[in-house]
Amino acid sequence: MWESAIGTNAANYASAVKNHRGMNKKIQAASLRVGFVSLTDCAPLVVAHELGLFRKYDLCVSLRRELGWATVRDKIIYGELDAAHAPAAMPLAATLGLGSTPCDCVAPLVLSLEGNGITVSTGLFESCFNRKIPLLEEIQRLQRKKKLTFGVVAPFSSHRRLLRKWLSAQGVHPDRDVHIVVVPPPQMVANLKAGNLDGFCVGEPWNSAATIGRAGVCVASSAELDPGHPEKVLMVRREFTEERAQEHLALIAALMEASEWCAAPGNHENLIAMLARPEYVGVPAAELRRGVEEFCIFPDRALAEPSGDKAAWALELMRDSGLCPQPDGLNLPLARSVFRLDLFDQAMRLLSNNRSNHQNETEPESAIR
């Protein structure tokens, strides 16, 4: 194509260059790999795919379901995924190299707020909570037989912070009196049933799945323990934002539209039906309903901003974790360099322009005149 274009006139040459660039754009878009874990709050990614919002922004996205967050993190770091739905503090942890190879990552969009619950096994609930026996007293009674084990989904996550806060409020020392282990979200209920866990903190629908399946009882939620906390973000490598800038902004815009759709109560039944499909979350609608209607907050533009207060929240989570070898090295400018409000603002301009152009295209000719 290039050889024949060189011999043509300038107009034909410009046309050939334009077509070639268009082909390259389509080839790049076809390789956009976006990861998610089977949770109710992966909804914006599913909706953007199912409603054609990715296509609306000239993206061809391949959604990749992953087992857990360590896999998502590593695939982002090593370039096997271009973007992913991820716990809010994970881009900051990856940038610092905590638990992984250091890799500059950014969070240009908040995908959800809240959405988590703490569930204990039916046995623990009956022997302790149902009888109004303090948890610490039950732990001390059982200490000769076993040490209670609780699951969280990642070391640097809201789940670990919420669980530690809940345990501490009951006089339980989270590092001394219990074991806290990392378990992928979709495996929590099976491990609770098997007796490997006595409780867990996880996102929906897995608290509802445990409750409906009578494996456990949900005893606390994000809304009670840390109202309005950022939960999931879009996670990408910094180099992706630079090398594929237009696709990146288009991805943010498409997911913002999807989040607004998810937030509308009139769409909840359709959303539940989408998430219930086996390629996404793959659980019955009854297990998804509470997460969609009560637990998860899908944000509007104001709440979706990766703003300074959300960066500060992630920073506080890292400092409070007890897992950072040099907590003094954590600072707000570093966190703000990860939570990229500038990229969000650029994407929102793209979204507004796209909507404006779409409205003009659909107006009758008389209205345009």
**Taking phi first (over 0 means left), then psi (-120 to 50 degrees means alpha), and beta for anything else, what does residue 221 get?**
beta
For residue 44, what pLDDT is reported? Answer: 98
Distance (Å, whole) CA 64 – CA 37: 9
* Fold entry, domain 2-113+230-362: D-Maltodextrin-Binding Protein; domain 2 (3.40.190)
For residue 366, what pLDDT is reported? Answer: 35
For residue 54, what pLDDT is reported? Answer: 97
Q: Is the dihedral of CA 53, 309, 153, 291 positive or negative?
A: negative
For the chain, which ranges sit under pLDDT 50? 1-30, 362-369
For residue 358, what pLDDT is reported? Answer: 67
The identity of residue 213, as a single letter, is G
pTM, to two decimals: 0.88
Q: Residue 235, SS3?
A: strand
Topology agreement, domain 2-113+230-362 and domain 116-225: yes
For residue 199, what pLDDT is reported? Answer: 98
Distance (Å, whole) CA 113 – CA 159: 12
Burial pattern 332-360, b for ≥16 Cβ within 10 A else e, equals eeebbebbbeebbebbbebbeebeeeeee
For residue 357, what pLDDT is reported? Answer: 74
Question: Residue ranges per domain, the chain?
Answer: 2-113+230-362, 116-225
Residue 37, class by beta-carbon neighbours within 10 Å (0-12 exposed, 13-18 middle, 19+ buried)? buried
Distance (Å, whole) CA 286 – CA 124: 24
For residue 328, what pLDDT is reported? Answer: 67
For residue 285, what pLDDT is reported? Answer: 98
Superfamily of domain 116-225 in CATH is Periplasmic binding protein-like II (3.40.190.10)
CA 354 and chain centroid, separation: 25
pLDDT digits (tens, 9 = 90+) for 96-154: 999 999 999 999 999 999 999 999 999 999 999 999 999 999 999 998 899 999 999 99
pLDDT digits (tens, 9 = 90+) for 339-360: 999 999 999 999 999 887 766 5
For residue 10, what pLDDT is reported? Answer: 33
Distance (Å, whole) CA 186 – CA 115: 15
Q: How far is CA 175 from CA 154, 158, 300, in A?
A: 16, 17, 37
For residue 31, what pLDDT is reported? Answer: 75
| 8 Å CB contact between 306 and 255 | no
Residue 182 pairs in a beta bridge with: 152
